[in-house]
Structure 1
Amino acid sequence: MRERGPCLLGIDNGLTVTKAVVFDARGRPLAVARRRLPQLMPRPRHVERDMNQLWAATAEAISEALAVSGRAEDIAAVAATAHGDGLYLLDQDGAALGPGVLSLDSRAAEQVAKWEASGISARALELSGQMPHASAPTALLAWIRIHEPERFAKIGHILACKDWLRYCLSGVIGTDLTEASTCFTNVQTQDYDPGILRLFGLEALAHALPPVSLPDAVVGHVTEAASRLTGLREGTPVVAGLHDVTASALGIGGHGAGRVAIVAGTYSINETVSNMAKTDPRWFCRNGLRKGEWNNMSISPASAANYDWFLDTLCGDDRAKAEAAGESFHALITPGIEAAFQRPSTLMFHPYLFGSPHGAGASASFLGLRGWHDRGDMLRAVIEGIAFNHRIHVDALRDGFRPETAMLTGGISRNPLFAQVFADVLDMAVTVTATEEPAAWAAALCAGSGVGLFDSPTADPRDLAALGKTWQPDPARSREMAGRYRLHCDLAASLASLWPQLEALA
């Protein structure tokens, strides 16, 4: 007889893929469906997507996941998480107002530089708990006000990506506590602050800020139109959901004080929870899952995407041959990387292919490269460079909050070699939890809490201790890595004046 009981649907929308995952009430994934999402780059620095195409792709993924699971009638609630920052605008009638803007967009970089020079950024840190950046909603809205005034005048609602999906499911406009704090909430009160809009010259948009709910609040129900597209029962509760950075930590059991959750993906994401607001230019101080809780995030777009780039660009033919033969390319190259870690190396890598903690001008580079270095040496340098960049952020959080343990997720965390490197570089215990689709599971936790299946979003029903494996730092290797890390930072400081000259060549 087929198993019955309540199930939950978690939606996770990233920068390139949207996923729908059906979980049972014990946290076991029963079905996963994915759809790739094309990025639109109509001009340099513009990274967008069609909002209606995003919803159509997500609806397809939901329909497939429900069909594969065979549990469509058992879905008790649904919630979404998605990439934070960026911008998804609606007009007064609730229709998409142009394309959605992804968090990889940098069109507003010049505007941010002006705010930094004028002191507005420092004031924003004091008010909102964070410095504005190029893909922040405030920066993008200021850019639209200047360059697209007709579009600006039509803005009826300012949403984040997951809020658009929630609207498509339920017809209800709103956001949640975590997402509201990307720009517009006062860091102390955790509520909207009109002074923030005035600071950026956006006071005309006060009407467009969406109502704020807790991440696990039921905010609506699946509409008849959404039911036809997705296969969800009409009337299924829709829960507010949460920002994907918070979701990644929650899904692996890493959301809480005393620990730092590390996500090694496109972005280097490093976050820890506190029970008081503390601001610093090195991290975003954003709202946690409840008022009185803050999630402190130190982030840069400089992590495992550098490793993927190396494999795609420099190992493409070998990788294709291995996969055609049914072999794991990662298994083939790991022995060479392990061997490289056993010998001295002058080779270092700055993982700044797509961004850095040092500003938009910094670029990636291999330094200390010699003719006797091979692919294993280069990959060792890439892996070290990624871990060193995470340490920059983790050290900032250790200065402010003193977390004692780390939890690691992201595709590279599945490789024990990577996990050990992170433990050695950070000189702290690193735990990897065997969680499939952690961000979608976090959305499902909020959905389950909203309908009473769980006491709260943090009441994870799984045995997290049994799911986790911990890597302890090797004292000798940590001392070696500490010296290499200092050199990594010194080299970056030395290159700071040269990066703009390199960029000028373009």
Structure 2
Amino acid sequence: MPSLVGIDSGLTVTKAVIFDADGTVLSVARRRVPQLIPEPRHVERDMDGLWSATADAIREAVQKSGRPASDIVGIAATAHGDGIYLVDRELRPLGPAVTSLDTRASAVADAWNESDVGERSLQLTGQKPHASAPSAVLRWIRDNQPERYGRIGHVLAAKDWLRLCLCGTIGTDRTEASTSFTNVRTQAYDPDALALFGLEALNAGLPEMAASTEIVGTVTRLAAEQTGLAEGTPVMAGLHDVTASALGMGGYRQGIAAVIAGTYSINETVSDAPKIDARWFCRNGIAPGEWNNMSISPASTANYDWFLEKFFAAEIRDAEQAGQSIHDLVAREFAAASGRPSSAMFHPYLFGSPFGGATSAGFFGLNAWHDRGDAIRAVFEGIAFNHRIHVDALKDGFAPGTARLTGGISRNPAMAQLFADILGMPVTATATEEAAAWGAALCAGAGAGLFASPTSDPRDLESIETTYYPDPGRREALDRKYRVFLDIADAMRPIWPRLQDLG
């Protein structure tokens, strides 16, 4: 019986998921991948360590699946987008990878956006530069690490490095290729983009583009020994994780805002023509003549994870020892706090924001009578408010009528309802397991001939979905709070850089 492997390599965990051809999860294996922070604003990872962890996860998943590796008819990867994974001309890692949480290049991006480069980039590539954009990171390397820059053989993304390790071929797919250097109208690489950023020397280093469903190689003997996969298993090009998540949750189509509440606040919708605006990235869709419009910021549930780590450390230990979930305790405190008025508010900008590189997180409106539950509520509302900034932008441009929500936070019905109330639109929470990995597996399945296309999802989606509708009363109260949230952000704009200067 045919099965598929979807690899999903995020910013903290890399995982391998084996799916039956009907979308049933057969097995999942995860490995944590440590972040390296050698100095402020540098967030890196060891590339060989990432592959080793991923290979271990694949081996475990194959063993747990109960199926022989020979049943696997295709494998595809998705991974965090943006950032840079460099290899030299011998195809070896050229230093640690720069992840999408890295902000060393924020001054580069800010300077470009304060000059005409930002607007020219928007018109040419469909997006303005940002701190973790390949363009900005590569320019920082050019200016600060010239010896390393001169040794660049190939400029890859995270999933493309995993592909190289699996099948030994260099390349990328259409969705990943459009992070900095493609023409938004032709959807192909444009030398003018490299020239705009002063990176002309890297023209030969841009990886060849393939369709996400295209077979780009087969599992090598060495990779088979490392992973437990069968040598010769087809490897497909895969896709950017933002697109993979929308595809896997059934939200990759026009008229729908796909909302992924993960490390990043990811909000996206598909169009059949390019539409350019500084509030979103207009990037290549999966198929030619398709665009995926992404409004994102590194400001979603990573803030919740931080809050748990800092304020629930003892409770986490107790819950683990008792075999319970810390999230159940958090849900109870959130529910209790939601039953009373509260002025407490949180800007979820620990790792970045939609407002530029100099932002930081903060609680506002706290008084002595507030407790930890009020702080939890403020964190959750702040996360959803930040998603609304992005969804409102997409509403302006594309008028999606509904939203689909995924991410660990969406499994709490109270949180899904909160998103509906704050976004002011029906929100469908899907019980899709491992949405991004399933999106990659759909591409592998299409490439293997199991599915007519990546969007030919064989599952009965209605059976795993619940739709939440805005409550008029809560919607009105949260809308008032949202306006204050935005007003505070406006007031903080001149103060955030001064805070940053304090170190």
After TM superposition, the score normalised by the length of structure 2 is 0.98
Matched, 1:141 2:148: no
Q: 1:39 aligns with which of 21, 26, 35?
A: 35
Query: C-alpha offsets along residues 129-179 of structure 1, whole Å, 9 cap, x if unaligned?
Result: 001111111111111111111211111111111011111111111100000
- The reply to whether residue 12 of structure 1 matches residue 8 of structure 2 is yes
Aligned to 2:48: 52
1:98 aligns to what SS in structure 2? coil
Question: Is the counterpart of residue 322 in structure 1 residue 319 in structure 2?
Answer: yes
In structure 1, give the amino acid aligned to 2:188.
Answer: D
Higher mean C-alpha displacement, 220-229 vs 173-182: 220-229
Distance 1:362 1:96 in 2: 32
Distance 2:27 2:272 in 1: 36
Counterpart in the other structure of 1:255:
252
Q: Whole-Å Cα distance in 1 between the matches of residues 90 and 315 of structure 2?
A: 52
Q: Report the equivalent of 2:89.
A: 92
Give the whole-Å Cα distance in 2 for the aligned partners of 1:7 and 1:322: 36
* Structure 2 residue 155 is the aligned partner of structure 1 residue 193: no
Structure 1 residue aligned with 2:80: 83
Q: Flag structure 1 segments of 5+ consecutive residues without an equivalent.
A: none
8 Å CA contact retained: 2:3, 2:72: yes
Aligned counterpart, 2:128: 131
The correspondence for 2:387, drawn from 386, 390, 410, is: 390
Amino acid aligned to 1:134? A
- Following superposition, the deviation at residue 16 of structure 1 comes to 1.1
For residues 138 and 126 of structure 1, what CA distance do their matches in structure 2 show? 15
**Structure 2 counterpart of 1:307, from 280, 301, 304:** 304
> Is contact 2:5-2:74 (8 Å) kept?
yes
Map 1:211-226; keep pairs closer than 5 Å.
Answer: 211-226=208-223
DSSP 3-state at the match of 2:452: coil
8 Å Cα contact 2:75-2:233 kept in structure 1: yes
Deviation at 1:270, TM superposition (A): 0.5
Amino acid at match of 2:2: P
Is 1:363 paired with 2:360? yes
How far apart, in 2, do the equivalents of 1:46 and 1:100 lie? 10
* Residue of structure 1 in register with 2:460 after alignment: 463
- Name the CA distance, whole Å, in 2 between partners of 1:9 and 1:197: 35
Consecutive unaligned residues of structure 2, counting only runs of 5 or more, are none
Does the C-alpha gap of structure 1 residues 67 and 315 become closer, same or farther in structure 2, counting only changes over 3 Å? same
Residue 423 (1) aligns with residue 420 (2): yes
SS of 2:405's equivalent in the other structure is strand
The alpha-carbon deviation at position 330 of structure 1 amounts to 2.3
Q: Measure the CA separation in 1 of the matches of 2:318 and 2:211.
A: 49
CA contact (8 A) 2:110 2:356 kept: no
Find the counterpart in structure 2 of residue 27 from structure 1: 23
Alpha-carbon deviation of 1:242? 0.2
Letter in 2 for 1:254: G
**CA deviation after TM superposition for structure 1 residue 339, in Å:** 2.4
Structure 2 residue 351 is the aligned partner of structure 1 residue 354: yes
Task: State the shift of 1:329 in Å.
Answer: 2.7
**What's the CA shift for 1:228?**
1.3
Q: 1:74 aligns with which of 56, 71, 74?
A: 71
Over 3 Å counting, the alpha-carbon distance change for 1:65 and 1:322 in structure 2 is closer
Report the TM-score when normalising by structure 1: 0.97
What is the SS of the residue equivalent to 2:367?
Answer: coil
* 1:408 paired to 2:405: yes
Task: Give the Å deviation of 1:391.
Answer: 0.3
C-alpha distance in structure 1 between counterparts of 2:207 and 2:168, whole Å: 13
Distance 1:234 1:441 in 2: 22
Q: Could you tell me which amino acid in structure 2 is paired with residue 33 of structure 1?
A: A
Shift of 1:73: 1.6
How far apart, CA to CA, are the structure 1 residues paired with 2:330 and 2:148?
Answer: 50
